[in-house]
């Protein structure tokens, strides 16, 4: 019976154990994980206006916006910098929708549907529309094509553009409401001008504050606690981790270099003789093929010896150069007089008949037809068509892919070139500063560690991780005992955005591990870019929130001490000069001298003087000894002998300064909204 009762007690547990596999058999495990993630703030990219933004939601919007960028620009946004820009826009969009628009509506601001129509296709085109489409007619043509695009791509672009226009209009109205509410009336303007034109003839005595500690000035723990409580918002802190880590960088061995040098030598003979150099470089070189022309000095950043060879020769192939873990050789293919920059006109054609049409148009142009007229009638590129083919001034570094040959083309003669899926008729209208340059092929090979070398470094990292056995204490013991060769521990304080350790970029995996583990833990081997092995230990952790009073106690104490010390010093000076009637007598009593300044300016025109002293001077009566005044750098006793009003600071200066101040304040609208709404930005956890 006892056994039966125990089994009955375990009945619910057994039921769960039996039911869970059946449930997972029926339900997609990824759906279960997604549901769990949605319930955990750990998987939130942020929280804005009370709304959580999950990683799944944020990434989906990032993917959507990336596709729109690609459709608009015609190029991929897969690079790290481009992706960061996309993520920034996605985050700003969430802030706009969940915070800014709510506040704008609460302020009585709205953007109506008729207003959007006017901004996108009416008489008052938004700057966004003007930049993308140029004019109203192009917008109308684009919108007409929406119904013909079954893919939905055009519609997605249009919805995105309208959203950008709407958001910009809301932002502009809110900023205008804020900026225009700051009215500079004539009385205030006159006061600003007058205050900034007044200079004073001042005699004064200053007793500087001492750097030595005054033992009679005491700051109590109660005063520290009160200051902390009154200013707690100033002590907000982000989550941090204090870690130690050992980095093993996999470097090629001498044997690796020798083996790969032998392979390079075999390919070198082909490189110096092949007629198809471009294909050889594309297949074998770690330095990409380029159509550019170079002169001496241009290739110094690639390799000094390569640069010197190109500068000194007009043909031939160099010997093999070794530079660290790289092998180089260079072959000069062509020489030509190449300009630094060119003015270029193009006609863009595409489609199955593009080449045929280009041949026909080239014949027409060579027959004397006007290039601008032909471009306006035939070019698919809007800018080219509108400008009679002219698209701007180019260097070799910013030329449109496919048009590199324009730098060696004859000025004024049109030619056909294909590139990037288009057929171009191009014409160089002007070429500036030509000089002798060379087109070269650079055969570069980077020496890579072999599998054997990789294993040696991994085994070192693995041995350290094994000795650490998941413990910071053991990690330190292994480091201190030199138990692993080349194991050098580095301390670092990190936040959730840290992704660079000792120059090793994209190391976010190290950061994630540190934030997922408690102090006292040590990691296994963490691999980055397949060539760096990390072993990490967490020494201490700081949670997001407020810095404990104990950690800022000394800072608060110093601040309160300074305030109490300056007040005491001023009181001491007052007592010492009691009964004295002249600045000279006061200076003698205080062991100092009387200083004199003839044109002491106040307010915006003075940057170096003690601000408290300036304030006291501006309010003091002429001919009367004033003080002692507690300043920022010392205690002052002074007399204003006279004041003069000049004309250096004008109405225009006052208005400009006020506009700058209001403009700066307007830039803080969204950050202040985010601070007030306690927005949580956790993007650093994921990206």
The enclosing domain of 497 has a CATH number of 3.10.50.40
Nearest alpha-carbon partner for 599 in 648, 655, 650, 656: 648
pLDDT at residue 647, rounded to an integer: 81
- Model confidence over 322-376: pLDDT tens digits? 999 999 999 999 999 999 999 999 999 887 888 999 999 999 999 999 999 998 8
The torsion region of residue 31 among left (phi > 0), alpha (psi -120 to 50) and beta comes to alpha
Residue 45 lies in a domain: no
Residue 80 lies in a domain: no
Identify whether residues 597 and 635 lie together within a single domain.
yes
Structural domain that includes position 303: 254-337
- Model confidence over 610-626: pLDDT tens digits? 889 988 998 899 999 99
User: Average model confidence (pLDDT) for the chain?
Assistant: 88
pLDDT at 504 over 50: yes
Identify whether residues 527 and 596 lie together within a single domain.
no
Residue 651 lies in a domain: no
pLDDT at 593 over 80: yes
Show the DSSP H helices in 625-668 as ranges.
651-667
Residue 82 lies in a domain: no
The stretch 302-327 carries a mean pLDDT of 96
Give the C-alpha distances (Å, rounded to integers) separating 431 from 283, 337, 341, 397. 34, 11, 6, 15
Show the DSSP H helices in 591-632 as ranges.
611-619
Identify whether residues 554 and 641 lie together within a single domain.
yes
Tokens of 81: 């910098």
pTM here? 0.68
Identify whether residues 302 and 365 lie together within a single domain.
no
Cα(277)–Cα(109) distance, integer angstroms: 64
Identify whether residues 332 and 347 lie together within a single domain.
no
Tokens of 318: 């160099």
The Cβ-side half-sphere exposure at 581, using a 13 Å CA radius, reads 0
Tokens of 116: 């959007």
Residue 676 lies in a domain: no
- ω into 628 cis (within 30 of 0): yes
Could you tell me the CATH number of the domain that includes residue 219?
3.10.50
Residue pointed to by tokens 């900023």: 175
pLDDT at residue 402, rounded to an integer: 84
Identify whether residues 269 and 222 lie together within a single domain.
no
Identify whether residues 537 and 516 lie together within a single domain.
yes
pLDDT at residue 18, rounded to an integer: 39
Identify whether residues 274 and 224 lie together within a single domain.
no
Number of domains forming the structure of the chain = 6
Q: Which pairs with CB-CB distance under 8 Å and at least 24 residues apart come from 616-619?
A: 617/200, 617/202, 618/195, 618/198, 618/200
pLDDT at 16 over 70: no
pLDDT at residue 75, rounded to an integer: 63
User: Residues 511, 441: contact at Cβ < 8 Å?
Assistant: no
pLDDT at residue 433, rounded to an integer: 87
Residue 441 lies in a domain: no
What counts of helices (H) and strands (E) characterise the chain? 26, 22
Residue 105 lies in a domain: no
Residues 6+ apart with CB under 8 A from 272: 317, 329, 331
pLDDT at residue 603, rounded to an integer: 56
Residue 47 lies in a domain: no
pLDDT at residue 384, rounded to an integer: 80
Tokens of 282: 């594309």
Identify whether residues 262 and 280 lie together within a single domain.
yes
- Model confidence over 553-585: pLDDT tens digits? 999 999 999 999 999 999 999 999 999 999 999
Nearest alpha-carbon partner for 621 in 202, 187, 207: 202
Cα(276)–Cα(445) distance, integer angstroms: 19
Identify whether residues 416 and 465 lie together within a single domain.
no
Cα(24)–Cα(12) distance, integer angstroms: 18
pLDDT at residue 37, rounded to an integer: 45
Cα(153)–Cα(72) distance, integer angstroms: 10
CA angle 5, 11, 13 (to 5 degrees): 130
């Amino acid at each position: 019976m006892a056994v039966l009762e125990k089994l009955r007690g375990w009945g619910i547990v057994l039921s769960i154990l039996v039911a869970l596999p059946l449930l997972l058999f029926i339900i997609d495990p990824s759906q279960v994980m997604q549901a769990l993630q949605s319930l955990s703030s750990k998987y939130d990219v942020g929280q804005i206006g009370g709304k959580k933004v999950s990683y799944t939601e944020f990434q989906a919007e990032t993917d959507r916006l990336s596709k729109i960028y690609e459709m608009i620009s015609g190029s991929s946004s897969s690079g790290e910098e481009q992706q960061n820009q996309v993520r920034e826009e996605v985050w700003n969009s969430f802030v706009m929708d969940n915070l800014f628009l709510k506040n704008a509506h609460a302020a009585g601001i709205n953007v109506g549907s008729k207003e959007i129509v006017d901004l996108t296709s009416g008489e008052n085109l938004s700057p966004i529309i003007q930049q993308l489409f140029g004019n109203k007619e192009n917008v109308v043509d684009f919108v007409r094509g929406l119904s013909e695009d079954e893919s939905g791509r055009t519609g997605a672009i249009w919805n995105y553009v309208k959203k950008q226009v709407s958001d910009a209009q809301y932002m502009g109205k809110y900023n205008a409401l804020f900026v225009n509410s700051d009215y500079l009336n004539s009385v205030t303007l006159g006061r600003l001008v007058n205050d900034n034109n007044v200079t004073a003839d001042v005699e004064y005595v200053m007793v500087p504050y001492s750097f030595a500690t005054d033992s009679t000035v005491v700051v109590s723990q109660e005063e520290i606690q009160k200051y902390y409580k009154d200013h707690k918002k100033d002590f907000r802190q982000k989550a941090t981790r204090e870690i130690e880590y050992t980095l093993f960088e996999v470097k090629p061995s001498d044997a690796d270099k020798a083996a790969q040098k032998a392979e390079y030598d075999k390919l070198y003979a082909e490189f110096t003789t092949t007629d198809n150099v471009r294909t050889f470089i594309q297949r074998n070189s770690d330095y990409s093929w380029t159509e550019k022309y170079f002169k001496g000095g241009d290739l110094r950043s690639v390799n000094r010896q390569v640069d010197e060879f190109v500068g000194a020769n007009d043909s031939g192939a160099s010997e093999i150069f070794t530079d660290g873990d790289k092998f180089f050789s260079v072959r000069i293919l062509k020489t030509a007089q190449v300009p630094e920059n060119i003015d270029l006109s193009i006609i863009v054609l595409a489609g199955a008949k593009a080449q045929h049409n280009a041949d026909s148009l080239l014949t027409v142009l060579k027959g004397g037809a006007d290039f601008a007229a032909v471009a306006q009638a035939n070019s698919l590129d809007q800018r080219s068509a509108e400008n009679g083919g002219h698209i701007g001034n180019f260097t070799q570094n910013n030329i449109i892919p496919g048009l590199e040959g324009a730098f060696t083309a004859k000025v004024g003669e049109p030619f056909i070139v294909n590139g990037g899926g288009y057929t171009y008729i191009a014409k160089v209208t002007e070429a500036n500063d030509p000089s002798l340059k060379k087109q070269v092929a650079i055969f570069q090979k980077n020496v890579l560690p072999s599998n054997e070398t990789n294993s040696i470094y991994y085994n070192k990292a693995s041995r350290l991780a094994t000795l650490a056995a998941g413990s910071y204490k053991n990690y330190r013991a292994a480091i201190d005992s030199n138990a692993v060769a080349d194991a050098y521990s580095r301390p670092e304080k990190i936040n959730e955005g840290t992704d660079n350790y000792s120059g090793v970029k994209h190391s976010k995996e190290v950061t994630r591990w540190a934030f997922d583990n408690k102090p006292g833990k040590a990691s296994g081997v963490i691999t980055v870019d397949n060539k760096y092995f990390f072993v990490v230990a967490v020494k201490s952790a700081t949670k997001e929130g407020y810095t404990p009073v104990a950690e800022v106690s000394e800072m608060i104490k110093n601040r309160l001490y300074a305030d109490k010390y300056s007040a005491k010093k001023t009181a001491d000076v007052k007592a010492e000069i009691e009964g004295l009637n002249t600045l000279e007598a006061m200076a003698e009593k205080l062991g100092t001298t009387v200083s004199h300044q003839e044109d002491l300016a106040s307010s915006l025109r003075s940057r170096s003087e003690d601000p408290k002293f300036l304030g006291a001077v501006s309010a003091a009566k002429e001919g009367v000894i004033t003080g002692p005044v507690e300043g920022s750098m010392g205690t002052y006793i002074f007399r204003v002998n006279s004041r003069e009003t000049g004309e250096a600071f004008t109405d225009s200066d006052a208005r400009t300064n006020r506009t700058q101040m209001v403009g700066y304040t307007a830039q803080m609208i969204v950050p202040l909204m985010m601070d007030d709404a306690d927005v949580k930005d956790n993007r650093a956890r994921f990206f």
